[in-house]
């Protein structure tokens, strides 16, 4: 397998020369890795692409497609990842092969907490070489699902993933058996991840008080508002929201109308447009997500100083930020346990 490197957008791209592999691999380079000390994975499940990154900066992108078939495929090529769960009938095909075979196989077609999500998540984990050890991992949700007081999506995903998973992974090279035990996911929200990823890039002056993040996915847009006081960011929940349309469902067809809809909702959520358009730079707006490039110019009509970072591809901003959040939470838990232990001693 021959690889070449290309430094662009803060990523050292690993180009796989083996024809037709269903995933793309990258190596993240930047200020984030300095604090990533704990073995961990983070996942960003988009409607078009499933992204995951480990604590070493290795990032894998795979199409968000999976479907179940009764019979094992007679031919398994380099394009195929096939999973057979112990004690269950049928075979799951995930990634590019699933996309070709079944146009209705998008993983979150019926929501993130589906058996298809389980198949693709476990398939992705095997790509990182995890086999038996338990490890912390981060899963992002749309803001409205994360903020849901009933925690419906969090409970459903926890039930789906927090257990023992015994399965066989079939590839062209043979069959491997896995027995993975997953703990409860560390949950966070889409857009919030991008905020913490961008924060390390120092894209705005230290005196900025309000940071607004427009995270544009294929199916949804997450609008995240953050207030920074004495260097400490706090979510403004009354100014944060999720739109049910995304770049694929509306933005690609009519980007100008889509930009106006985004602006209207930001206005309804009382974003500080007087600060955003002021020379005093008390507020900044940034864009993230796979729809960033297509919507950047239409959105500038309403956000003249909108920031589209050059040092990190916005498609990967969430998954990088999720790792930031997960690592911080694990460090905080460790300090809390150490403090409690010292008090007991």
pLDDT in tens, 255-291: 999 999 999 999 999 999 888 877 777 999 999 999 9
Burial of 227 (0-12, 13-18, 19+ CB in 10 A): middle
Cα separation, 303 vs 161, in Å, equals 40
Q: Is it the case that residue 192 has pLDDT exceeding 70?
A: yes
Cα separation, 337 vs 312, in Å, equals 35
Strand partners, 179: 166
Q: What is the pLDDT of residue 345?
A: 60
Q: Is it the case that residue 328 has pLDDT exceeding 90?
A: yes
Q: Is it the case that residue 131 has pLDDT exceeding 80?
A: no
**Where do the domains of the chain lie, and which CATH numbers do they carry?**
3-189 (3.30.420.40), 192-319 (3.30.420.40)
| Helix 317-344 with 192-199: angle, nearest 10 deg | 90
Look over the chain and give the mean of its residue pLDDT values, rounded to a whole number. 86
Q: What percent of the chain shows pLDDT beyond 70?
A: 86
- Token pair listed for 225: 């508002």
Q: Are strands 283-288 and 210-216 parallel, antiparallel or unpaired?
A: parallel
Q: What is the pLDDT of residue 12?
A: 56
Cα separation, 57 vs 73, in Å, equals 33
Mean of pLDDT values over 312-332: 95
Q: Is it the case that residue 109 has pLDDT exceeding 60?
A: no
Q: What is the pLDDT of residue 73?
A: 77
Q: Each residue of 268-284: b (16+ CB within 10 Å) or e?
A: eeebbbebbeeeeeebb
Q: What is the pLDDT of residue 16?
A: 43
Residue pair 210/225 in contact by the 8 Å Cβ criterion: yes
Q: What is the pLDDT of residue 15?
A: 43
42-78 pLDDT tens trace? 999 988 889 999 999 999 998 888 888 888 877 776 6
Cα-Cα-Cα-Cα dihedral sign, residues 141, 142, 143, 148: negative
Mean of pLDDT values over 152-171: 93
Q: What is the pLDDT of residue 292?
A: 95
Strand partners, 227: 210, 234
Q: Is it the case that residue 18 has pLDDT exceeding 70?
A: no
Mean of pLDDT values over 178-187: 94
């Amino acid at each position: 397998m021959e690889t070449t490197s290309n430094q662009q957008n803060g990523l050292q791209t690993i180009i796989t020369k083996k024809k037709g592999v269903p995933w793309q691999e990258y190596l993240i380079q930047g200020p984030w890795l300095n604090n990533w000390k704990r073995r961990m994975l983070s996942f960003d499940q988009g409607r078009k692409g499933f992204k995951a990154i480990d604590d070493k900066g290795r990032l894998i992108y795979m199409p968000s497609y999976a479907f179940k078939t009764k019979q094992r495929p007679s031919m398994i090529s380099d394009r195929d990842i096939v999973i057979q769960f112990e004690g269950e009938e049928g075979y799951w095909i995930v990634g590019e092969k699933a996309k070709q075979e079944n146009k209705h196989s998008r993983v979150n077609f019926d929501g993130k907490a589906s058996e298809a999500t389980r198949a693709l998540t476990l398939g992705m984990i095997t790509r990182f070489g995890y086999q038996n050890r338990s490890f912390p991992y981060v899963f992002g949700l749309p803001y409205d699902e994360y903020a849901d007081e009933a925690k419906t999506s969090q409970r459903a995903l926890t039930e789906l993933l927090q257990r023992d998973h015994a399965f066989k992974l079939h590839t062209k090279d043979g069959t491997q058996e896995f027995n993975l035990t997953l703990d409860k996911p560390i949950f966070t929200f889409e857009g919030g991840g991008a905020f913490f990823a961008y924060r390390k890039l120092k894209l705005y002056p230290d005196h900025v008080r309000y940071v607004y993040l427009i995270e544009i996915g294929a199916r949804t847009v997450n609008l995240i508002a953050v207030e920074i006081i004495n260097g400490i960011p706090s979510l403004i929940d009354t100014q944060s929201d999720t739109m049910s349309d995304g770049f694929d469902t509306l933005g690609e067809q009519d980007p100008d109308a889509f930009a106006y809809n985004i602006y209207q909702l930001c206005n309804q959520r009382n974003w500080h447009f007087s600060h955003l358009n002021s020379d005093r730079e008390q507020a900044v707006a940034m864009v993230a997500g796979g729809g960033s490039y297509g919507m950047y110019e239409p959105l500038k009509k309403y956000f003249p100083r909108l920031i589209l970072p050059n040092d990190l591809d916005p498609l990967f901003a969430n998954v990088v930020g999720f790792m930031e959040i997960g690592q911080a939470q694990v460090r905080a838990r460790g300090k809390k346990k150490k403090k409690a232990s010292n008090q007991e001693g």
